[in-house]
Amino acid sequence: MMSTKRSMITSNIALQAAKESVIKLDPRAMIRNPIMFVVEVGFLITLLLSFVPDAFGGAMPRWFNLTVALILLFTLLFANFAEALAEGRGKAQADSLKQTKKDVPARKIAADGSAQMIAANELRRGDIVQVLQGELIPGDGEVIAGLATVDESAITGESAPVIKEAGGDFASVTGGTRVVSDEITVRIESDPGESFLDRMIALVEGAQRQKTPNEIALNTVLMSLTLVFLIVVVTLPFFANYLGMTLEIPMLIALLVCLIPTTIGGLLSAIGIAGMDRVTQFNVLAMSGKAVEAAGDINTIILDKTGTITFGNRMASEFLPVGSHRLAELANWAAISSLHDETPEGRSVLELMKRLELPVEAALAVDSEWIEFKAQTRMSGADLVNGQKVRKGAVDAIKRWVLEQGGILPADLDEKSDQIALAGGTPLAVAVDRELYGLIYLKDTVKPGMRERFQQLREMGIKTIMCTGDNPLTAATIAREAGVDDYIAESRPEDKIAVIRREQAEGKLVAMTGDGTNDAPALAQADVGLAMSSGTIAAKEAANMIDLDSNPTKIIEVVSIGKQLLMTRGALTTFSIANDIAKYFAIIPALFVLAIPQLDALNIMRLSSPTSAILSALLFNAVIIPLLIPLAMRGVTYKPLSSTALLRRNLLLFGLGGVVVPFLGIKLIDMFVSIFL
């Protein structure tokens, strides 16, 4: 399950962020945020006027100019602090990960079988290494021989070790993790600097964070608003001259800063960084902010059954002979077809033989040609030296194979196959040449809590589709038990891609979870591909998110965080723009009331003086940014509601609140400021 082990903000992070907020005042850095760059230009002009009041022919007193300059400086520092604070959390996580990345020795196995100790940074993709009990795994790779328990707490934060074994979808290992028991042989799958840990460090540091399409679009809107207000403020002196009054530059700067969306401009970057960080808080590595945002708009989730909805370790529990064949015959051929099968299912067949104390004619398999399982054929087996061909696999695939050999199918085959399927198991058929001997009953178990989790997705308006290679009856039983909305039985890799493309063609965004090599194409096709850390290298490379806990239901948290990110950005944008209404009522009357006394009717807050009104609005504009930093970092609380209900809730809370709060805040600040004026 997910955990939030890391605290949001520490004193060290806050102190470093305070230093960074000053460093970020560099105009070369500020220009990346045009809104805050405008504020910085205003700060520099008012600072100059505080020392040379008549530099631009102005007549405002020094103290007023200096006060405006200081308020603008604090506005900039608060905005920079928000961004630096979000970046600091990512850097703190990266520092802890760097402690895990050590230059460990590696036992490289040469082509002749000899072992040589070298440094881990000398390993290259394709190298073979042996890792013994107590040793650190020197690099990312796949187990090609052996079985061991591995402590992945340095990466996932979870103390319970996991089993890694050759074959199947649990062969992937990560550099920096430790072998707790036994030993394994690993084929390295990454070059130095390209490992899973290297990418993770770079991503959580934010070095590779790119602005998402939504963020770019919002930036464009905010810059357009800024440009519009800039044009308005620049042209105001001409209208003022027509009315016979003079508008001083500090007042115009104050008006511009209060009207442009400085609040969201100062928090926008922090919201994006914090959104990425919240994903990593739940032990999910997002390859891009785009993937996190896309998760917030997901309509359909495709889930692979084995290892995702179910535990995935399907074990042989019973042999069911068909036709006139006997149990011993079926068991013998099932064992022969599994002698070279390194998958958990294959090994479980041999373990079942031992439990039943049945003999195996292993001599028949000597020098045989092993036929590996393929997703396309959905069967495996062996071609024996005596010419016999043994196959084990999905019932429909074995039936076709037997018929192709000219064989006849037993009358009770479908009945017994359906019997296993209705019980929620998976039937594997065993055939030798033209004869089908019987079935292996494989049991799999749905992970606890899946039905409740899928119900949460339904409440979010998200459809769930389960893909499985099982026959329709087995698929229906598992789907019913898990509570998914739909399922695709006897699924091949191309079927998963087809259903994703079909949903995307209807304008829907699709998420896919998986852990196997055969899931890789679908993970790449999906808008959000969440791969399990325990899965294969191919799956992790194809996905744009990796779940370090290998908990497929984590997709619910990912979707929630994506929605939360979008809602937070929208809510604070609404709040920021709504603020302008109160600032308008504070500053406009203060600027023009002397020339147009009728504008005093707009002074509904009854502010004490024009000077106090301008300073109060500026102060509120500066103070509101640090007050909103916790909300930007934590995110708006998300609840599974309809789009209409969410819109109504946020308009009332942040739209109406964005209008009311500034009125109250500016009035309170004015009461305080008027004491000194």
Q: Which residue numbers belong to the known binding site for ATP?
A: 341, 345, 373-380, 392
Residue 353 CB-half CA count within 13 A: 23
100 DSSP β-pair partners: none
Catalytic residue among 198, 304, 470, 580: 304
Residues at the binding site for Mg(2+) are: 515, 519
CB 483 within 8 A of CB 456: no
- Burial of 519 from C-beta contacts in 10 A (0-12 / 13-18 / 19+): buried
**What distance in Å separates the CA atoms of residue 525 and residue 504, rounded to the nearest whole number?**
10
Amino acid letter for position 440: I
CB 561 within 8 A of CB 279: yes
Report the candidate in 559, 673, 551 with the shortest Cα–Cα distance to residue 611.
673
Angle 309-314-316 (CA atoms, 0-180°, nearest 5)? 155
CB 488 within 8 A of CB 502: no
295 three-state secondary structure: helix
CB 135 within 8 A of CB 177: no
CB 407 within 8 A of CB 433: yes
**What distance in Å separates the CA atoms of residue 268 and residue 245, rounded to the nearest whole number?**
38
Using CA atoms, how far residue 533 sits from 87, 232, 381, 527, 662, in Å, is: 25, 54, 29, 19, 47
What does the CA dihedral 99, 101, 107, 110 come to, rounded to 10 degrees? -170
- State CA 110 to chain mean position distance: 39
| The residue count for the chain | 677
- Tell me which long-range contacts 483-487 makes (C-beta under 8 A, separation of at least 24): 483/450, 483/451, 483/454, 483/455, 484/303, 484/309, 484/454, 485/454, 485/458
Report the candidate in 366, 428, 422, 364 with the shortest Cα–Cα distance to residue 401.
428
Residues at the binding site are: 341, 345, 373-380, 392, 515, 519
Angle 318-323-329 (CA atoms, 0-180°, nearest 5)? 55
Residue 534 CB-half CA count within 13 A: 22
**What distance in Å separates the CA atoms of residue 338 and residue 349, rounded to the nearest whole number?**
7
CB 81 within 8 A of CB 626: yes
DSSP string, 87-146: HHHHHHHHHHHHHH----EEEEEPTTS-EEEEEGGG--TT-EEEE-TTPBP-SSEEEEEE
DSSP secondary structure code for residue 368 in this structure: P
186 DSSP β-pair partners: 129, 143
Amino acid letter for position 89: R
**What distance in Å separates the CA atoms of residue 554 and residue 184, rounded to the nearest whole number?**
29
Active site residue 169: no
Give, to the nearest 10 degrees, the angle between helix 34-51 and helix 62-100.
Answer: 140
Angle 27-28-31 (CA atoms, 0-180°, nearest 5)? 75
**What distance in Å separates the CA atoms of residue 608 and residue 585, rounded to the nearest whole number?**
13
Show which residues are catalytic.
304
